Structure 1
C-alpha cells in the first residue's frame, strides 16, 4: 500500500466512526422526553381528573403512592410527553408538619425555596383534595 492508500483508508475509518457516533447522538436526542406545561395538552397524555385541575388551581392536594406515602402538592407544573413523569410544586415544610399526625408518611419540600420535584406517575394510586374552601 502506498501513502495515498493509507490516507484513503484512514479517511474511510474516520468517516465510519463519525457516522456511528452521529447516529448514537441522534438516538439520544430522539429519545429525550419533553415536558408539557399546558393543562389542555397534558390531559391528552394523562387523562385523569386531577391533571387539568391540579395544573390550573393552586390548592393543596395529596398524592397517595404505592408505598403508602402522601405527597403534599400545590400544583402540577408539567407532565412528560410519554406520560411517565410529572413535575410538581410541593407544599412547604410547615404544611407538611401539620399533616404528619394525619398521615404516617408525608412528603413535602425540605425548604420553602426548594419546592419543585419530579414524581413518577406509575407510583401514584390516588389523588385527593386536602383542603376545602
Structure 2
C-alpha cells in the first residue's frame, strides 16, 4: 500500500474533533494494542468529522492492521474487543488489512477523502 493514499486524508482537521472523542478513540486504540493488535493507522470518519453530530451520533473509527488477514473477519474481531465503556461512548469500528484498504471500496473512499487520520 502506497503511503501517498494516506495523505489524501484531512489530517489538518484533527483540531476540529472534540477532545472527548479523541480521548475515547485513543483509549480504544490502546485497548486494542493491549490485546496484541498491531495498528498501522486509524481514522475517525462520519458525522464526528463532518460537523453534523447530534445527541445520538456514534464514533466511526477505521483500524488498519496487518494482523487482519483476508480470512480474518476484522469487523468481528473489533466488535468483540469493544468494552462496555466503548459501547457507551458510541464507538463503531471497522477494520481492513492494508492491502484491502483501497479507494475503489466506497467506505474507504469516504474515509480517505473526508476522514481524519489519527495514527
Q: For this structure pair, what is the TM-score category when the shorter chain's length is used for normalisation?
A: 0.3 to 0.5
- Of Structure 1 and Structure 2, the greater helix share is in 2
TM-score (norm 2): 0.34
Larger Rg: 1
Bigger strand fraction:
1
Highest RCO, 1 vs 2 (Cα 8 Å, sep ≥ 6) = 2
